[in-house]
Structure 1
Amino acid sequence: MLTGKQKRFLRSKAHHIKPIFQVGKMGVNDNIIEQINDALEKRELLKVSILQNCFEEKDDVAKQLAEGTGAEIVQIIGNNIILYKESVDNKKIELP
């Protein structure tokens, strides 16, 4: 579980990151969870964009992604979700 200070630190790091995944009308499936999990292992912090044609609520999408990947939800802002998962092999971010 992330503290408020850690979330604030991660939000500042994620500010300049572009979303690299998009969730559309197909919603969350095993394939996207697997790809996001691989990306989190390499990057630790990433943004996921939710397209307007997605039928699911953004909170539900964020919860499904976090549970499927074992990541923490840093923030849901607009149609973007910021996820963080500490990397085993590629540790780059030192949390305060």
Structure 2
Amino acid sequence: MGILGLICIIILTLFFPPIGVFAVAGCGMDLLINVILTLLGLLPGHIHAFYILYVYYDRREQARNGIPLPTPAPGIFSQRVQSGGYSNYGPVH
């Protein structure tokens, strides 16, 4: 997914934050948290969704550059987001 995919996810997230979280994290705890935050208020849902997107794409860029991850990002339960979408990339233990 290139820059066009990122732009599409950002636009979808602006209208309905859980769609963006579902696109990068799948169906799991992060999506549930985002749905609850969006129901409580649109701003908390947006903040959480863009945090998930930021971590996902930041980890994806780190994986492309070969930078190891020292610790998991706080508040994110999806291993897909933690690894930037790469299956054998993750925190160093």
Instruction: Provide TM-score, normalisation by structure 1.
Output: 0.30
Larger RCO (alpha carbons 8 Å, 6+ apart):
1
Instruction: Provide TM-score, normalisation by structure 2.
Output: 0.31
Judging by fraction of residues, say which structure has more helix. Answer: 2
Judging by fraction of residues, say which structure has more strand. Answer: 1
